[in-house]
Amino acid sequence: MANEKTSNRLPKRHEIPDEMKWKLEDMYASLEHWEQDYQEVKSLISKIHEFAGRLGESADNLLDVLKTQDTLAEKMGRLYAFARMRRDEDNTNAVYQALTDRAGTLSVQASAATAFIVPEVLAVPNDQLQAFLEREPGLQLYRFALEEIVRMKEHVLSPAEEQLLAQVGELAHGPGTIFGMLNNADIKFPNITDENGDEVELTKGRYIQLLESKDRRVRKDAFEALYATYRKQKNTLAAILQASIKKDVFYASVRNYESALHAAMDEDNIPIEVYGNLIATVHEYLPEMYRYVKLRKRLLGLDELHMYDLFAPIVKNVEFKIAYDEAKRIIAEGLAPMEEEYGTILQEGFRSGWIDVQENEGKTSGAYSWGAFGTHPFVLMNWQDNMNNMFTLAHEMGHAIHSYYTNKTQPFTYSDYTIFVAEVASTCNEALLLEHLLAATTDPKEKMYLLNHHLEGFRGTVFRQTMFAEFEQITHEKVEAGEPLTPELLSKIYHDLNVKYYGPDMVVDEEIDLEWARIPHFYNAFYVYKYATGFSAATALSQQILKEGTPAVDRYVQFLKSGSSDYSINLLKKAGVDMTSPQPIRDALDVFRKRLDEMERLAAEIR
């Protein structure tokens, strides 16, 4: 008979209470409604073909095709989001696996059908395009979008070549899709014995919770069990990651970019120097990370600090066990400086089926915010009763409210926003919540606990994500140089980076060399650096909100409402921070240094 307690078994999807599930019915009331939109998108794909070769004929033709493209993209976005989020509820559900596949295939068909638009716009002489804009008032909505197309002119191919690239889009998504299914549906982890002597199933959702155990044996067992599982798949995972990187390099090459990094940065019109500035500036502050590692080692009373000790509580007799309902209340209090309108939207999200709360068998791990134009946003969680999950909820609600504002304020054309600015909205929520918690406690141990949480935020969001960014840069450069990415090479690169980033007081265990094998962000190349830049911008903006009040809140909310109506760098400048300079990174890391100084003082007092 198994020793595992029923309470430690992951529930099936149908066992989750309805009030803890998101209401995807708000997107589509039934699969029949989904099918109706699916058929309508197929019709729109046929209709849009009729415009091919005719965009330069008249302003009316140009306006009609842009409107049709918007309608097509809006419906396609909703179709895919619904199917994928249904699949994310339980990746083993064959119905929604099939629905996601159908939506993905249709999305590729839609991309192929609209691939002629950009090349044809570029074929229109600039003076004629300006005449169209002056002649047809309806085109004014698309002025910025058309200017963005012209900006990318040297990287756009012929209509036939663009259509071919669009048609292979489904193949290009292959590595990420395969990794997702392997990582979320097929990989199973063993049971381990927790600190109470109970056998529990190791899951990705429970992993960090187990690493926070006060029992070092539990931390070590969870760490070793997780990576032993990935080690069995290392050759497959290396092949998948290499295929993904080769895809990035291929697209950059055919679009005439110097490198995959240049292609990724140009997509958001971010100067390439921003990436280099981030890595160089974080390198300047690595001695502060080494100082934090040394303090952690001392406060834990360890002769050796291992990677599995990074999440262990270092403040004795302080435990923040936070239930979901309590977390919502605390988050609302922490975000009170954002004033009434923001707070009202937050409460609407909490009570109106935006959030899928609990982990269940087959559910996609981690957390995200997603949705579609015309419906409220949604948030996926895998809730555990701890402070990290409370901050994650605040983070994802930052994304969600950002989406809510842009969808309410911007037309569909500009209702999306770049990841570069997205991480500002989410991290600003976290910064305000932390300031609230620090101000609310006078207990030295609780304050020290919170300071350590903030330092861990810096470690995870600035230092670690920059390390990820450096890993992506190195691996892409090696593929661009024709070097194969074997599991051994990937592990060596990753090991050396951990040594560089954590310093002499950290034992870099061989298990951590395989962490590259489980990071889903690596399948969306050159994405993670935006966490670090976003954290830095959010640090500055949250301080402005707390010090200035309403004027800073108004600037910030206007930023949240702006969507993609201007370039990300410009939107942030209007909000009050200039990310073309390394100074915001330095300012944020100076806060890390200040918090570390404060924590060292408190540690001395408590002793």
Active site residues: 396
Q: b/e map of 475-508 (b: 16 or more CB within 10 Å)?
A: bbebbbeeeebebebbbebbbebbeebbbebbeb
Q: Which helix (H) or strand (E) holds 207?
A: helix 204-211
Answer for the pair 366, 302: CB distance below 8 angstroms, yes or no: no
Please give the structure tokens belonging to residue 415.
């209702």
Distance separating the N- and C-terminal Cα atoms of the chain: 48
Task: Find the length of the chain.
Answer: 607
**Rounded-to-integer distance, Cα 62 and Cα 387, Å:** 52
Cα separation of 166 and 333, whole Å? Answer: 47
Q: How far apart are CA 82 and CA 62, in angstroms?
A: 30
Task: Collect all residues with Cβ–Cβ distance below 8 Å to 187 and sequence separation of at least 6.
Answer: 229, 230, 233
Q: Could you give the CA distance from residue 327 to residue 391 in angstroms, rounded to a whole number? A: 9
Rounded to 10 degrees, the C-alpha dihedral 22/24/26/30 comes to: -140
Q: What angle do CA 577, 579, 583 make, to 5 degrees?
A: 85
> Could you tell me whether strands 368-370 and 506-507 are parallel, antiparallel, or unpaired per DSSP bridges?
unpaired
Burial class, 551, CB count within 10 angstroms (exposed 0-12 / middle 13-18 / buried 19+): exposed
In whole angstroms, what separates CA 17 from the centre of its chain?
27
- Residue 438: what residue type? L
**Residue pair 531/247 in contact by the 8 Å Cβ criterion:** no
**Residue found by looking up tokens 């500009």 in the block:** 414
Nearest to 321 by CA among 271, 253, 390, 255: 390
Phi, psi of 362 (to 5 degrees): 85, -5
Close Cβ partners of 136 (under 8 Å, ≥ 6 residues apart): 59, 60, 62, 63
What is the amino acid identity at position 153?
A: K
The label of the residue with tokens 């600037």 reads: 555
Q: List, in sequence order, every residue forming a beta bridge with 193; answer none if it has no partner.
A: 199
Q: How far apart are CA 69 and CA 110, in angstroms?
A: 9
> Residue 427: CB partners within 8 Å, gap ≥ 6?
395, 398, 461, 531, 534, 535, 537, 538, 539
Rounded to 5°, angle at Cα 231 from 227 and 233 = 125
Report the amino acid identity of residue 463.
Answer: F
